[in-house]
Structure 1
Amino acid sequence: MTRVKAEQLAAARGCVLGLMLGDAIGATGGNVPARGTLRATSAGQLACFTLEGLIRADVRGAHRGIGHAPGVVWRSYHRWATIQGISDVKPLPDEKSPSGWLSRVPALGERRGSAPATVAALQRQRMGTISNPAGASTGAHALTRTLPVGLYPSCNPAEVAALTHTGDALGAAWLGATVVRLLAAGTNLHDAMESARLHAADWYQAAERSLAPALTAARSRPRTLHELTRLAPDATAVSALAGGAYAAASFPSRDTVREALLFAASAGDGGHAVRVTGALLGTVHGPDALPVDWVSRLELAWTADTLARDLMTQVQDNPSGGEYVEATDPNWWNR
């Protein structure tokens, strides 16, 4: 049996916890209260269900030989909408009630802001594809909820983004998740962003509007609020990637993660850039570099950490076995 390497686990946990911490800090606008729970938004909730979909897809592939990850993630988004009680989203025909432990996490069933493009696609009951995306939105949720796909390289991040979004949002999602994948493999932050930019053939415009200017600004004018607001002026996916990458590259060391998050949260783009910053720096430095006083108050800390661990365990060890492989954990399939 294989075992998850410590470096792999640290990168995955750091990515997911950093993303969720960025989500909560973004919700405060950078004015983090001294006490109390740091709550998730719909962006963080959807990222959790993306991870659930990836895990389920891998389990399905091991047992049935088919596990189209974007399609399984689409079903996870259905579960999110169902437990939230969102109107006009019909339950899945083969699921009388939402299954899996994630559907029983109270904070995931609470409405925490809107996700209009995702909700609209679910209400239309049409799963978008790269060649035929759903809707017309290029919003940041396509990127932020897709960043963890970088931890699961067998899935194309753009396909997950295309479920509900279109245009440059697909490119931004591919770029962001590709940077996460490279970071998790041990590439340093600057080289990971540069490599993703250089290899973004299908997403050249998104790369030149996000990673290219972010890298240039981080080299010549780091830690400058004017540059941050210029790079991240709105709530689009390209804007979030540019601002988040710039903040991470401006504060790349493990002892400046707090400053990086507060800086990114000041972008004024609705908290999207700081989610990217948290995911990138968390992947680079691991969970131990995240501010303990914040993570200890993070509402979905246990949920996020469990999902990160479960994904790595499933990919490396496949505890539920398969058609010709005995299960090492008889409860994994039901989980």
Structure 2
Amino acid sequence: MVAHEDPHQEYRRRVAGMQSRVRGLMLGLALGDTVGAARGGPPTAGPLRAGVSTQLACFTAEGVIRAMVRGRHKGVCHPPGVVLHAYCRWAALQGVEAARMRRRWASHPSDRPWPDGWLAGVPALAERRGSAPATVTALSRIEDPHSRIAVPSRGCHALTRTLPVAVAGPQWAEQAGEFAALTHGDPAARSTAAQAAVLLQHCLTAPRPDGPADPADRIAREALEAGIAALPSGPGRALGDERQRLAAAFRHALDRPAEPALLARLAPDASAPAALLGGLYTAASFPRRDRFGAALAFASGAPDGDSVACVTGALLGAVHGAEALPVDLVSRHELAWVLDVLARDLLAQIEDSPSGSEYVPGWDPHWWDRYPGW
């Protein structure tokens, strides 16, 4: 008797696999941010505190969901504007120009309090966890009548906070650059965020191992190499140079893996390009599932270890999935539940649009309250 496979089984497996990788990306960046800030030596007991990159990445993920909700219900959406609103909610919770933020956003016709959405109720997101000077300076100009608030910076937060955008798919890679450019005006910040989105998309969609004999390190390196190959190389010299630098960092990881001096040369400062180069070099140097902790510890030794480890954690988490992350670290991270919910909800919005659309009713009556479309 021939057994017939459930026609929905393959779909369920695909969604479960993608969910693991999206969760891995979100939790991985957070662990990297935390371990990197501790220079590779986080406390052995007690809660692990989130960094400012993780806080901002949470609001990026929420902003992407809300942009998708708006597009579904209104038929038109400008995602950078919705994500800018998300960053302003973070700033208001942090006490950054809170009165100015309220004048800009709370006057929007609404019967709900502002900041709105469930994420604004998370206490840890209202606590100061390091500095993000370019982001804060730009957001403080939110009432500028000329509306161009970005400062001339290529700082790492333009990259680390936009890492979740990769989940939304290839068409959102340029949006990652737009989100970075909201506050960071240097062209390198924009291009680096877009490049990271492409690399992460290839990690998220890399083939699964065929079995125990199929080495995961091969899959990780092939995903990174394919991502580099997919990066735009023109027009102009800048894009080609950036792609060549990433390709060189990848080759270094194959020929001279895990050399601290080489990491320091690739990632000498707290800029977005340095964080991506250092994160790529580290991820390719430690491609195995069981070396995630060692990868973060090594990345933490970079001059700006938290940004490099943040990128490293996102890349490896995306390719290996949440199950590859060290349980002793994930279980103690104060935002683990928040990150997990955001990861699942982001994928749910992409796959199923729980709030429906302008013409189709949704199956979750509370989704709009959780993710208002503005």
The alignment's TM-score, normalised by the length of structure 2, stands at: 0.84
Aligned with residue 114 of structure 1, among 131, 151, 156: 131
Aligned with residue 191 of structure 1, among 200, 215, 222: 222
Structure 1 residues 19 and 126, CA, compared in 2 at 3 Å: closer, same or farther? Answer: farther
What is the aligned partner in structure 2 of residue 98 from structure 1? 115
- Rounded to whole Å, the distance in 1 between the matches of 2:228 and 2:256 is 20
Does the 8 A contact of 2:30 with 2:310 survive in 1?
yes
What is the aligned partner in structure 1 of residue 349 from structure 2? 314
- Rounded to whole Å, the distance in 1 between the matches of 2:296 and 2:305 is 14
- Rounded to whole Å, the distance in 2 between the matches of 1:46 and 1:197 is 26
Aligned with residue 259 of structure 2, among 210, 224, 230: 224
- Rounded to whole Å, the distance in 2 between the matches of 1:152 and 1:10 is 15
Aligned with residue 144 of structure 1, among 160, 169, 187: 160
Rg: which structure is higher? 2
The answer to whether structure 1 residue 162 and structure 2 residue 181 are counterparts is yes
Matches within 5 A, 1:173-322: 173-186=193-206, 188-198=219-229, 199-202=231-234, 203-209=239-245, 211-322=246-357
Does the 8 A contact of 1:213 with 1:242 survive in 2?
no
What is the aligned partner in structure 1 of residue 59 from structure 2? 49
How far residue 133 of structure 1 moved from its aligned partner, in angstroms, is: 8.1
Aligned letter for 1:146? Answer: T
What is the aligned partner in structure 1 of residue 141 from structure 2? 124
Per-residue CA deviation, residues 131-175 of structure 1 (Å, 9 max, x unaligned), is x78211001111111111110124221111111112211111111
Does the 8 A contact of 1:171 with 1:207 survive in 2?
no
Per-residue CA deviation, residues 116-144 of structure 1 (Å, 9 max, x unaligned), is 111111111279xxxx7821100111111
- Rounded to whole Å, the distance in 2 between the matches of 1:278 and 1:318 is 28
Structure 1 residues 90 and 126, CA, compared in 2 at 3 Å: closer, same or farther? Answer: closer
How far residue 270 of structure 1 moved from its aligned partner, in angstroms, is: 4.2
- Rounded to whole Å, the distance in 1 between the matches of 2:67 and 2:277 is 30
3-state DSSP class of the match of 1:271? helix
3-state DSSP class of the match of 1:46? helix
3-state DSSP class of the match of 2:55? helix
- Rounded to whole Å, the distance in 2 between the matches of 1:39 and 1:268 is 21
Per-residue CA deviation, residues 172-229 of structure 1 (Å, 9 max, x unaligned), is 11111111111111264333333333332353333333x1231121011001111111
Aligned letter for 1:195? Answer: A
The answer for unaligned runs of 5 or more in structure 1 is: none
Aligned letter for 2:177? Answer: A
What is the aligned partner in structure 2 of residue 40 from structure 1? 50
Does the 8 A contact of 1:168 with 1:205 survive in 2?
no
What is the aligned partner in structure 1 of residue 15 from structure 2? 5
3-state DSSP class of the match of 1:90? helix
Does the 8 A contact of 1:264 with 1:277 survive in 2?
yes
Aligned letter for 1:51? Answer: A
Structure 1 residues 163 and 287, CA, compared in 2 at 3 Å: closer, same or farther? Answer: same
Aligned residues with identical type, % of pairs:
50
The answer to whether structure 1 residue 327 and structure 2 residue 347 are counterparts is no
The answer for unaligned runs of 5 or more in structure 2 is: 1-7, 208-218
Aligned letter for 2:133? Answer: P
The alignment's TM-score, normalised by the length of structure 1, stands at: 0.93
Per-residue CA deviation, residues 26-50 of structure 1 (Å, 9 max, x unaligned), is 1211112111211111111000000
Matches within 5 A, 1:25-36: 25-36=35-46
How far residue 67 of structure 1 moved from its aligned partner, in angstroms, is: 2.2
After the TM superposition, which of the residue ranges 322-331 and 46-55 deviates more from structure 2?
Answer: 322-331
